[in-house]
Structure 1
């Protein structure tokens, strides 16, 4: 049989030699995760992100990889860490809290960014609007800074009316100005005296705590900022020594020994961020993915801490709790 006849029997399709199978294997996408805190403080949130990715078919180590960068409480390091992820050419940057999101947005206009933030993302310039973010950025917000009035009201239920309240806020956190403004407005509405101390990332937290104690405060209100995940141990040690009720913005701080928290279910928000990251990896554009706003909230109280502080939690308060730690 002549060669042309043989080809015609195959329908005119030339025979092609098989290529190396390894060359055909798809490249595993890489998610660059930018953190303001440490590996230890972010562990539970990372698990939630992985659960969200799993909901849309991605398993870390199998068909998606993580590339982490941790600022370890030093937000000034974030621009350089974001630049490293851009140079690494990751497929998506997942920005864990507001400062990493701001740094990531400044570092790239092409790599998709999914953020998790506790503030209004329009107010801090992350997106053009909640419904249509525009550009390369979208994410999840739980607007915890909008809940300070309710948090302060709940804290006031366990202390005498004449007792001043101390507030801690991170000096270089982009949310600090609005957190202090909103908390002061809530204190004024409740006719409470509020003393504010800012904590420097390179400073000693004991000094601002002692300055608050000199004001004879009767309770401690901690700004809803990720910085305080790292500072929780010295804060709780101080609160125990001086018998001070504490209020935090997330329930993991209460599980760790704080008295109470009121805020969004952050773990659920991080799971949703994982889902969004997976959707972007599948080709959806951040510009058209609306920013998700948390709808699940929780009020947590720690009865063991209350007993240690000698604080009586009224029944009217306990009936509101969605998470009681005994």
Structure 2
């Protein structure tokens, strides 16, 4: 009888230990799941340049071992150009207490910075003039919870290319979106370079993509070439701009490789995907503990020549042989 009591007691102890072990294992598993970071990505609108930045960002995270669906969760939101969507989506990230957020395009980054807590890192993905748009104190010393990559265009190189391709152009039209900080910054900086080089120019603005047809028709009747800066509104309406310009036999020299693909004649451009990749790598470092306040804004400065041979043929323009060779060797050629 005593032996039976002993066996029963041993069984009770065994079951108790098993129960608590299972409970602890369950808690450990639950804890491990909680450790998987969540990253919120907010993109202003769909167009090829921003889409490439998004792809690059995910690739940058993977470079540091963060694989979506495996050890990191990515919540991607696209505002489709709607300001109210930006507010709603950034507030959603704030309420969900995500571990890090990334803004693709200046308005998206600003919405995030204004919505999430100061303890939530905000990564800029290809933002023009971060300090001027109030996102960081300075590029070298961001000073808060915001840092990332800046999409500064190689404007001097682009002006030199335009002069090479259209040497007889008397007036260059520069078009940008009045509400796009980055677009206005790039357009006015390009205009200043034109002024310094003794090149005549005229500035044209659109308030939204709906204005492009009318403004482009006016512009192409007054200029000999068009410069399209890195501007979300212009990039979104690039095909409309090109259609109008083609009818007037006016070449469009854009700032981004994706805009050449959409009908621009040629560009010396930095890779939008590389901008996103560097931002993704920065995000990974921040997730591992690096402080945004002392993490300098990064720039991708080296570009490549990108040409559209189909467009050149349509306009009857012979691209400089040197540019063609460099595009074929290191850049990109659209046919």
Q: TM-score, normalised by structure 2?
A: 0.84
Say if 1:161 and 1:192, in contact at 8 Å, map to a contact too.
no
Query: Normalized against structure 1, the TM-score is what?
Result: 0.86
Alignment of 1:190 onto 2:194: no
* Aligned partner of residue 194 in structure 2, secondary structure: helix
Residues 258 and 196 (structure 1), Cα distance of their counterparts in 2 relative to 1, 3 Å cut = same
Residues 293, 278 of structure 1: alpha-carbon distance in 2 compared, 3 angstrom cutoff: same
- Compare CA radii of gyration and give the structure with the larger one: 2
Residue 110 of structure 2 is aligned with which of 89, 99, 102? 102
1:36 partnered with 2:44? yes
Q: 2:233 is matched with which residue?
A: 227
1:162 CA displacement = 4.8
- How far apart are residue 316 of structure 1 and its match? 4.4
Name structure 1 gaps, 5 residues minimum.
Answer: 8-13
1:154 corresponds to which residue? 161
1:18 match: secondary structure: helix
Q: Which residue of 2 aligns with 1:124?
A: 133
Quick one: distance in 2 between partners of 1:130 and 1:188?
27
Alignment of 1:26-175 (within 5 A): 26-27=33-34, 28-38=36-46, 42-75=50-83, 77-108=85-116, 109-144=118-153, 147-175=154-182
Using the TM superposition, name which of 17-26 and 184-193 deviates more: 17-26
* Count of residues in correspondence between the two structures: 315
Deviation (angstroms), 1:55: 0.8
Distance (whole Å) between structure 2 residues aligned to residue 281 and residue 154 of structure 1: 40
Shift in alpha-carbon separation, 1:44–1:233, aligned structure 2, 3 A: same
Cα distance, 1:132 vs structure 2: 3.0
Is the 8 Å Cα contact of residues 104 and 124 (structure 2) preserved in structure 1? yes
Q: Please list every run of 5 or more consecutive structure 2 residues that lacks an aligned counterpart in the other structure.
A: 11-16
Q: Which has the higher helix share?
A: 2
Kept in 2: contact 1:164–1:219 (CA 8 A): yes
What's the CA shift for 1:324? 4.2
When the two chains are superposed, the root-mean-square deviation of aligned CA atoms in Å is: 2.7
Q: Which residue of 1 aligns with 2:22?
A: 18
